[in-house]
Copies of this chain bind each other. A is one copy, B any other.
């Protein structure tokens, strides 16, 4: 049986109120009394019952993070780093982090409703936003504190951190054009995902500005895995004539493309340029190393967590809209000049 405030109070011959005050550092306790209480608490190994504290305070001291869609073979190198950033930041502020998945076969919104309506958490982090995002609409309509990683096409503004995928892909495409490429293919993921929507726009803008035709044959949509990238890459390499460069919406997909090139006997880094987005750690170790756009995932995790705590604790966020610029990392997979036709 754990020691309670009551036990301590009885032992010391004071009231529970005094003990509570002394331990919480509230004013109005004689220094001498406080000392005695703190000492006894130490000696008796007193630990507050967080459940009781929470019920009384009507706060959970917990933030929530609902992991976006999940299959058995979900594997995202990206995700662990984001979680590390969030988790560490939460821990620093002594907040618990509740992680939830959508149980197999369950509606996604149910997880959100549980969190919000049953008040399991004080605030939520939303990631991988969609253009029209019911989660965000729901949270807004319930005035529930949240911060998103990613923007979305919502009526009301909301606090977010995002990486400027449009600008990033623009610069990357521009880089490829400067290297002499004219047939630049693009592997996109679902346009319903906000980041995907922005990224492909950057690609299109760069083509336009360079006066290059937009060729629907060179656009393929794939799922967000290396396996899917492999398939999409193969499909693109069968085009006639084939592209001389392939941009993938994510590094994971780009790694799949490199596998596909290998399987087709195409040499990445001389016959074909390949580039991705994210700069996962494997990008620099691929053969050849992969050109990509780096986003500071760990720092983003920290930032969205800190912003959410700001919102919860102070009711407002000093700098609620943050758009970060990704850094173009040119590596051997694109660092060669393609001979002009």
Seen from chain A, the residues whose Cβ lies within 8 Å of a Cβ on chain B are: 2, 45, 47-52, 54-55, 60, 62, 67, 70-81, 83-85, 87-88, 91-92, 96-104, 106, 111, 117-120, 225-227, 230, 255-256, 258-259, 262, 280-282, 285-287, 298-299
Q: Which B residues are CB-close (under 8 A) to A259?
A: 285-287
- CB-based nearest B residue for A111: B91
6 contacts across the A-B interface (CB closer than 8 A): A51-B60, A72-B299, A75-B80, A83-B99, A91-B102, A97-B100
Q: What is the CB-to-nearest-CB distance from A327 to chain B, in angstroms, rounded to a whole number?
A: 15
The answer to whether B103 touches A91 (Cβ under 8 A) is: yes
Q: Which B residues are CB-close (under 8 A) to A282?
A: 226, 255, 282
Q: Which B residues are CB-close (under 8 A) to A106?
A: 91
A55-B52, A281-B225 known; A72 vs B298 contact (CB < 8 Å) = yes
Q: Which B residues are CB-close (under 8 A) to A256?
A: 285
A55-B51, A99-B83 known; A88 vs B75 contact (CB < 8 Å) = no
Contact of A99 among B70, B97, B258 (CB under 8 A): B97
Q: What is the CB-to-nearest-CB distance from A332 to chain B, in angstroms, rounded to a whole number?
A: 11
Q: Which B residues are CB-close (under 8 A) to A117?
A: 2, 45, 47
The answer to whether A227 touches B285 (Cβ under 8 A) is: yes
Q: What is the CB-to-nearest-CB distance from A155 to chain B, in angstroms, rounded to a whole number?
A: 24
- CB-based nearest B residue for A287: B262
- CB-based nearest B residue for A57: B51
Nearest first, the 6 closest Cβ-Cβ pairs linking A and B are A87-B101, A91-B103, A259-B285, A99-B99, A47-B117, A72-B298
Given contacts A75-B77, A75-B81, A92-B103, 15 further A-B contacts (CB under 8 A): A51-B51, A51-B54, A62-B98, A70-B84, A72-B84, A73-B81, A74-B298, A79-B80, A80-B80, A83-B101, A91-B101, A91-B102, A99-B99, A262-B287, A287-B287
User: Among the interface residues A47, A77, A98, A117, which one has the most CB atoms of the partner chain B within 10 A?
Assistant: A77
